[in-house]
Amino acid sequence: MNLLEVKNVKKYFATQKAVDDISFTIEKGSIFGLLGPNGAGKTSLLRMITGIFYQDSGEINFQGKPFRALEDAGNIGYMPEERGLYKKMKIGEQAIYLARLKGLSKTQATEKVKEWFAKFEMQSWWNKKVEDLSKGMSQKLQFVTTVLHEPSLIILDEPFSGLDPVNANLIKDEIFKLAKNGSTIIFSTHRMEQVEEICDHIILLNKGKKILDGTIKSVKQEFKENIYELGAATLAEHLMTHIFEVVKHQPDRILLKLMYDTTPNDVLQYFLHKNVAINSFNEVMPSLNDIFIRLVEGTDAARQFQQIS
Amino acid sequence: MSKIGLIIGREYFTRVKKKSFLITTILVPAVIIAFYAVIIAIGAKGSTEKQKIAVVDQSGLLADSKAANNKDYTIIKNESETSFVKKYQAQGYEAFLYIPKVNLDTPHGIVLHSESTVSFATTEAIRNIIDQNIEAKRLSASGIDPAKYQQIKSDVKIETTIDTKDGGKKGNIYVAYGVSYGCGILIYMMMIIYGTQVMRGVTEEKTNRIAEVVVSSVKPFELMMGKIIGIGAVGLTQFAIWILLIFGISQVFPMLAPDTTILSGIMQGLSSLPVGRIILYFLVYFVGGYLTYASLFAAVGSVVSEDQQEAQQLMFPILMPIILGFVIMSKAVNDPNSSLAVFGSLFPLTSPIVMMGRITYSIPVWQVATSMLLLVACFLLLTWLTGKIYRTGILMYGKKPSWKEMMKWAFRSNT
């Protein structure tokens, strides 16, 4: 079942087509990566999904019904990149206040806050103020306030920025746990290595349009370049052939790009025939980072302003 | 709606619980009272400066009078204006008064030389002395006995009595004046102080991205009104504490310092005032004025970013009518039924302050009613317009929008 369906959504501003006809669906319980360079329209898209503003046209369906920000607020948790907290308010009170705004009763909210604070070892923070916290600590607090009311959709914008590896892992584990318990997570970031690790499904935006949509596996499959790594000591005279091209030659390994109709078996046979001792042979998949750069490269580094008629 | 209640509660309790709230609530009136006490003390003491003034008196105006014996003045003989003007500084005089031979009927040509500007008090004192002497000379020239003249001169004091149903009370116009003026200043200060608090709060929510987190669960308008109402409630709490304090002090004070004539005069003056009506009007106009301006301050807070200078720039047009109100109020205290005072107390942007200037006098009912209606209408209209600016502004980052853009946000239909 799809938790969220976005259909032909458009949002134009005075000088930008911020979101230009984007459609996608998110399955319940999945971790969904929303990627794109700066200014691609990620934030605009998220703001429509969180009900901060409305799309110019198109539909957003949440749990099978048209999305209504105020009614669905209790089911959504949004964590903006950094900040999002009152600096001068006591931490315990603040967490309870934010939870109550999301529709929890006072006792429920207090209970939940205590539970999460215990889980993240934050009990001693209760009477401190946010301004006393380091960047990483407030990021942790913010994560707690985002997921506290057990929303069915959790939207995280760069949740790991400013976190040390220990705390980043803590939050990563919580994200997996939340997904396993049925929450759906939208994860917006530029950090591709995190996406590969965490996400099931990604879409890539550029200049307000969707340019890629699929699971990590299928995307990699789609963008693989028939490159294989052979672990073997080879000499230059071994490589005079038309069945592959050498991408990179090192003393103990070699990267090969196979010609269009060559199979891996052909390559192995070729080297066996040359009496080369083979230690390993495997396909090299492109990293998401490479795919991202390849797709976005060539477009302007900074998005230009344009006239919208 | 329980969510707006939550917001009001947060705004209210986070402020009231602060130590600074208690401190300012107690300290501000103490500082104001001390400030005025110092001013009054200085005023009562008068000028203490002893200036040495040289006098060349060719008419004998000062020479044969008691004033000449005053140690501030030294009569210089055998000098003329032109000769002495070069010497008086060297001889240690700060000023040099030259009285030429004058005709008693049209005395002019009297000059006061000094190295720097002479104070108003000094020139007034000199003028008084010369006037007295000329008057005395004129009296004797006309053959009138100065003692007789003193008898003829009249100096009447009028007592004011305010008649209420319970019988007459001795009034004190100075107390009435003071109360009017004080209420005006108080509303003026409170509107600016609490208005700026609203503005800062809104800017904080914007720059800390709290609005983004919260706006999905509450309407932006609720967020704005919750803040405005919560902060307004803090102001009312402060007033309540002050009124209790004043009441308490007025009960305790007579016991501590019994029978001081000035004090009992003030007490009598206070009790002659319609205290209930004054407190009622004060609260109504504070609430009305605060709500009207708070929405404007909120709109400013929503369009600026961390840059305080931008906020200052945008605040200026809001402060203008408040300051104008204050100026009209100071006039209205003296002349409560002038057309300027009436206009100022009807015009909703100035009425909360100006009406305070008239509060101790009787105001026609139609004026109060019209003024309150206009204030409420103005508040509703402004909140409606600024609510729309706020809604757009609070989620916009980057450049400060131009006036034109803000007007567009305010007047476009709902999106």
| Same domain? B90 vs B229 | no
Residues 6+ apart with CB under 8 A from A98: A145, A148, B213, B214
Q: Greater confidence, B35 or A95?
A: A95
Domain annotation covers residue B399: yes
Mean pLDDT for the stretch of residues A209-215: 83
Q: Tens digits of per-residue pLDDT, A47-75?
A: 888 877 778 888 888 888 888 777 777 78
Q: Give the max Cα distance, chain A.
A: 77
B233 touches chain A (CB under 8 A): no
A70 touches chain B (CB under 8 A): yes
* pLDDT for A157 beyond 80: yes
Q: Tens digits of per-residue pLDDT, A113-145?
A: 998 888 888 888 888 888 888 888 888 888 888
Quickly list DSSP for A54-119.
Answer: --SEEEEEETTEE--HHHHGGGEEEE-SS--S-TTSBHHHHHHHHHHHTT--HHHHHHHHHHHHHH
pLDDT band at A290 (very low <50, low <70, confident <90, very high): confident
Question: Is residue A134 helix, strand or coil?
Answer: coil
| Same domain? B207 vs B106 | no
* pLDDT for B165 beyond 60: no
* pLDDT cut 70: percent of chain A above it: 96
Parallel, antiparallel, or unpaired for β A244-249 and A209-215? unpaired
Domain annotation covers residue B159: no
The full length of chain A comes to 309
* pLDDT cut 90: percent of chain B above it: 11
Count of Cβ atoms closer than 10 Å to residue A308 Cβ: 11
Q: CB distance A53–B214 less than 8 Å?
A: no
| Same domain? B114 vs B180 | no
* pLDDT for B190 beyond 60: yes
Domain annotation covers residue B146: yes
A98 touches chain B (CB under 8 A): yes
| Same domain? B298 vs B365 | yes
| Same domain? B131 vs B178 | no
| CATH number (domain holding residue B100) | 3.40.190.10
Q: Which residues in chain B touch residue A78, judged by CB atoms under 8 angstroms apart?
A: 212-213, 216
Q: How far apart are CA A238 and CA A244, in angstroms?
A: 12
| Same domain? B254 vs B226 | yes
| Same domain? B291 vs B348 | yes
Q: At what angle do helices B2-16 and B220-256 cross, to 10 degrees?
A: 40
The 3-state secondary structure of chain B reads CHHHHHHHHHHHHHHHCCHHHHHHHHHHHHHHHHHHHHHHHHHHHCCCCCCCEEEEECCCCCCCCHHHHCCCEEECCCCCHHHHCCCCCCCCCCEEEEECCCCCCCCCCCEEEECCCCCHHHHHHHHHHHHHHHHHHHHHHCCCCHHHHHHHCCCCCCCCEEEECCEEEECCHHHHHHHHHHHHHHHHHHHHHHHHHHHHHHHHHHHCCHHHHHHCCCCHHHHHHHHHHHHHHHHHHHHHHHHHHHHHHHHHHHHHCCCCHHHHHHHHHHHHCCHHHHHHHHHHHHHHHHHHHHHHHHHHHHHCCCCHHHHHHHHHHHHHHHHHHHHHHHHHHHCCCCHHHHHHHHCCCCHHHHHHHCCCCCCCHHHHHHHHHHHHHHHHHHHHHHHHHHHHHCCCCCCCCCHHHHHHHHHCCCC
Domain annotation covers residue B244: yes
B415 touches chain A (CB under 8 A): yes
Mean pLDDT for the stretch of residues A243-250: 82
Q: CB distance A86–B217 less than 8 Å?
A: no
Q: Tens digits of per-residue pLDDT, A12-31?
A: 877 778 888 888 888 888 88
Which of B172, B148, B147, B152 has the alpha carbon at shortest distance from B160? B172
Q: Which residues in chain A touch residue B207, judged by CB atoms under 8 angstroms apart?
A: 83
Check residue B399 and give its pLDDT.
62
C-alpha B250 chain-centroid distance: 23
Q: Which of B7, B207, B216 sits opposite A73 (nearest CB)?
A: B216
Check residue A12 and give its pLDDT.
82
Token code pair at residue B338: 């002038």
B216 touches chain A (CB under 8 A): yes
Q: Which residue of B has its CA nearest to A98?
A: B214
Give the CA distances from residue B305 to residues B212, B232, B399, in Å, rounded to whole numbers and listed in that order.
Answer: 15, 24, 8
Q: Are A138 and A80 within 8 A, CB to CB?
A: no
Q: Are B285 and B187 within 8 A, CB to CB?
A: yes
* pLDDT cut 70: percent of chain B above it: 84
Parallel, antiparallel, or unpaired for β B95-99 and B73-75? unpaired
Q: How many domains does chain B have?
A: 2
Q: Tens digits of per-residue pLDDT, B57-75?
A: 877 777 665 554 455 777 7
Domain annotation covers residue B157: no
* pLDDT for A112 beyond 60: yes
Task: Quote the pTM value.
Answer: 0.73
> Can you list the domains of chain A with their CATH numbers?
2-221 (3.40.50.300), 225-283 (3.30.70)
Q: Tens digits of per-residue pLDDT, B291-318?
A: 999 999 998 888 887 677 778 888 888 8
Check residue A304 and give its pLDDT.
61
| Same domain? B33 vs B57 | no
Domain annotation covers residue B126: yes
| Same domain? B23 vs B99 | no
pLDDT band at A103 (very low <50, low <70, confident <90, very high): confident
Check residue B375 and give its pLDDT.
92
Q: Which of A54, A88, A101 sits opposite B3 (nearest CB)?
A: A101
Among the three residues B152, B187, B221, which one is the final residue of a domain in this structure?
A: B152
What is the ipTM for the molecules in this complex?
0.75
pLDDT band at B405 (very low <50, low <70, confident <90, very high): confident
| Same domain? B189 vs B238 | yes
Check residue A34 and give its pLDDT.
87
A53 touches chain B (CB under 8 A): yes
Q: How far apart are CA B250 and CA A42, in angstroms?
A: 64
Check residue A3 and give its pLDDT.
82
| Same domain? B225 vs B346 | yes
* pLDDT cut 90: percent of chain A above it: 0
Among the three residues B89, B118, B152, which one is the final residue of a domain in this structure?
A: B152
Q: Which of B210, B216, B218 sits opposite A86 (nearest CB)?
A: B210
Q: How far apart are CA B309 and CA B300, in angstroms?
A: 12
pLDDT band at B253 (very low <50, low <70, confident <90, very high): low
Quickly list DSSP for A168-214.
Answer: HHHHHHHHHHHHHTT-EEEEEES-HHHHHHH-SEEEEEETTEEEEEE
Q: CB distance B210–A78 less than 8 Å?
A: no
Among the three residues B107, B123, B152, which one is the final residue of a domain in this structure?
A: B152
Q: Which residues in chain A touch residue B205, judged by CB atoms under 8 angstroms apart?
A: 86
Residues 173-202 in A contacting B (C-alpha not used; CB under 8 Å):
none
Q: CB distance B395–A88 less than 8 Å?
A: no
Token code pair at residue B247: 């009441």
Domain annotation covers residue B180: yes
Check residue B400 and give its pLDDT.
65
Q: CB distance A85–B208 less than 8 Å?
A: yes
| Strand ranges across the sheet with A254-258 | A244-249, A254-258, A227-231, A280-284
- Domain region containing B358: 2-39+164-411
Amino acid at B275: V
| Same domain? B211 vs B97 | no
Q: Is B341 left (phi over 0), alpha (psi -120 to 50) or beta?
A: alpha
Q: Taking all residues of chain A, what is their mean pLDDT, rounded to a whole number?
A: 82
Domain annotation covers residue B44: no
Check residue B229 and give its pLDDT.
93
Check residue B415 and give its pLDDT.
46
pLDDT band at B389 (very low <50, low <70, confident <90, very high): confident
* pLDDT for B233 beyond 90: yes
φ, ψ of residue B413 in degrees (nearest 5): -75, 165
Q: How far apart are CA B16 and CA B135, in angstroms?
A: 65
Most B CBs within 10 A among A86, A131, A186, hence the mutation to make, goes to A86
Check residue B313 and give its pLDDT.
83
Q: How far apart are CA A284 and CA A257, in angstroms?
A: 10
